[in-house]
Structure 1
Amino acid sequence: MSPSGLIRSTWLLYFSKPAGDRQLLKAIKGRTIRSIVEIGVGDASRIGKVLEVLGWNNQPEPIRYTGIDLFEARPASQPRMPLKSAFQHFKETGAKFQLVPGDPYSALARTANSLAGTDLLLIGSDQLGESLDRAMSYLPRMIHGETLIFQEEYERTSSKHAYRKIAVDEIQKRANAMKSRRAA
């Protein structure tokens, strides 16, 4: 790695903001990740860092990225991100990307089968609620035993971001709980 690359990697892994992103970046560093699904893209800065870190692995094929978000339909409490702006941002990353407008449940109902083999699943802190709970039934068909799953947690009082790693087994349990709740 070049001296400037070493400085950049050190900055990303140990000094970048928000500090919670560092945990995520360290977890993916050196991993072979071919497919990413992000539920709740936020301001799109997180995925830029993720793609940069994954780019250090010199993977021969582009990474497949799917971003699921409400985009223009976000609630007034969240900053808007027009789909056109998101498209322009992701085009610059060099990843093979797909943007899916909608809440987690409706978006995954349309796309989950095409997302099989997801290596990294990121769930934004703004995606909690009934739609995400219902979407859990689609996740098992997308992931595999080695999938890394992270759910962002945001503490509003201290403005701190952190990522909780979720085991594949926990996703299966949540999906089963949703199925049995619907059956009842």
Structure 2
Amino acid sequence: MSLIGQLRLFHSCYLSNPPANRPIYRAIRRSRARKIVELGIGDGSRALRMIAVAKRASPGRDVEYCGLDRFEDQAESAGPRLTLKGAHQLLGDAGVRVRLVPGDPPESLVRVANSLGKVDLLILPAELESPSIARVWFFVPRMLHRRSIVFIEREQPDGRRELDVMPRQTIDGLAAAGAVRRAA
């Protein structure tokens, strides 16, 4: 990798804004993640940076990105909306295989979990911690392999959102609870 590429990688991992996303970029670099799934892509800037880091961390290897989002169906108060067409245009120029799934992200994940296969990195919104959508967790373990990394957003008391790595034992516990609820 060229010096400029190394500097860009360093910038993404340690100096980029918002700082809450830096652990994701470091995890991609460290694990050489090439298959990334994100629920709720926002304005697409984090997706672009994740793709760039993945391409630099695994040069010459195929990178895949799947984004699940409401797109046009998003509430006005949710901030800047990225349309499905706009997302395809934005991410299509990144030079990777992109799959965008419109709809409510948790429900979309239930719909496409089996077709996604094993993923290296999964990024989940804070809303998934709600007990009302526990059934979503039933599908998460089948998407993971031994080295998969799962990040979940957490709302801090001061209103900031941070990303934490979710341990596999926690995921398996939530999946088991979702399976029991599903069987009932």
- TM over 0.5, yes or no? yes
Aligned to 1:135: 136
Q: Secondary structure at the match of 1:56?
A: helix
Using the TM superposition, give the Cα deviation of residue 156 of structure 1 relative to its aligned residue in structure 2, in angstroms: 7.3
- Tell me how far apart the structure 1 counterparts of residues 143 and 65 of structure 2 sit (CA, whole Å): 13
- Residue type of the partner of 1:20? A
- Tell me how far apart the structure 2 counterparts of residues 126 and 179 of structure 1 sit (CA, whole Å): 19
- Tell me how far apart the structure 2 counterparts of residues 152 and 138 of structure 1 sit (CA, whole Å): 19
- Residue type of the partner of 2:150? I
- Structure 1 vs Structure 2 CA RMSD: 2.2
8 Å contact from structure 1 (residues 145, 168) kept in 2: no
Q: If the length of structure 2 is used for normalisation, what is the TM-score?
A: 0.87
Task: Please give the residue correspondences for 1:1-80 in structure 2 after superposition, counting only pairs within 5 Å.
Answer: 1-79=1-79, 80=81
Identity of aligned residues (%): 34
Count of matched residue pairs: 183
Q: Secondary structure at the match of 1:33?
A: coil
- Tell me how far apart the structure 2 counterparts of residues 132 and 11 of structure 1 sit (CA, whole Å): 36
- Tell me how far apart the structure 2 counterparts of residues 94 and 130 of structure 1 sit (CA, whole Å): 38
Task: Please give the residue correspondences for 1:44-123 in structure 2 after superposition, counting only pairs within 5 Å.
Answer: 44-79=44-79, 80-123=81-124
Gaps of 5+ in 2: none
Q: Secondary structure at the match of 2:31?
A: coil
Gaps of 5+ in 1: none
Q: If the length of structure 1 is used for normalisation, what is the TM-score?
A: 0.87
Aligned to 1:163: 163
Note the alpha carbon deviations across 1:1-25, whole angstroms, 9 max, x for none. 4333333233222211001111221
